[in-house]
Chains A and B, each alone.
Chain A
Amino acid sequence: DSGVTQTPKHLITATGQRVTLRCSPRSGDLSVYWYQQSLDQGLQFLIQYYNGEERAKGNILERFSAQQFPDLHSELNLSSLELGDSALYFCASSPYGQSTDTQYFGPGTRLTVL
């Protein structure tokens, strides 16, 4: 158990809908990362937050947004969902968001868009 929690475990929804994925980092970690894992794209970095502020952006679609709250938990919002958004979404956390930190991953949320 990495100490990173993600809810829900599974989400099934329809095209055009909006969902929110939640992540709680390990105790004491200030940085949160979101990744998407799909069969055709592999593991892709979406976005990073550090102590409430956005720090880095990757291949995140405009339909997707995220935030990190004062208690350091993070939410990833996915809107206008398309079939191709079906994937595993992972959250990871690290102590300081530095390049030498280890990122610890949560169990993921499996999103299915029908």
Chain B
Amino acid sequence: AQSVAQPEDQVNVAEGNPLTVKCTYSVSGNPYLFWYVQYPNRGLQFLLKYITGDNLVKGSYGFEAEFNKSQTSFHLKKPSALVSDSALYFCAVRDQSYNTDKLIFGTGTRLQVFP
């Protein structure tokens, strides 16, 4: 079965510093990978996705993610963090096994950006 892992429950970073939120995946076949962000009391907002093509995917709000097949990783990055980036980040993989078509989400990583 497909799965994603987010090894860090929380990531702390100072405003202006680069940030990385880690995600590793386990899939059979081609991975379709997604990043979503959840602000307090809000729904999930789509940031970016990898389907095929360039390993560096650019998304919303200055975020990007690097697909690394050899390391089975899809880490989310931003060159310069903002306090307003503080939120809960979810990595997800598309799963079409057992006649289903759904997103499987990681457990989430809370990003805290300090002024």
A92 to B32, CA, bound (A): 17
B90 touches A43 (CB 8 A): yes
- Interchain CB contact (< 8 A) of A56 among B45, B102, B106, B107: B102
Indicate whether A56 sits within 8 Å of B43 (C-beta atoms), given known contacts A43-B90, A99-B94, A100-B32: no
B interface residues, Cβ below 8 angstroms from A: 32, 34, 36, 42-46, 49, 51, 90, 94, 96, 99-108
A95-112 at interface with B (beta carbon < 8 Å): 97-100, 102-108
Which residues A30-64 have CB closer than 8 A to chain B? Answer: 33, 35, 42-43, 45, 48, 55-58
Q: Does A2 contact B (CB under 8 A)?
A: yes
Which 8 A/B pairs are nearest by Cβ-Cβ distance? Answer: A45-B102, A43-B105, A56-B100, A105-B44, A105-B43, A107-B43, A99-B94, A56-B101
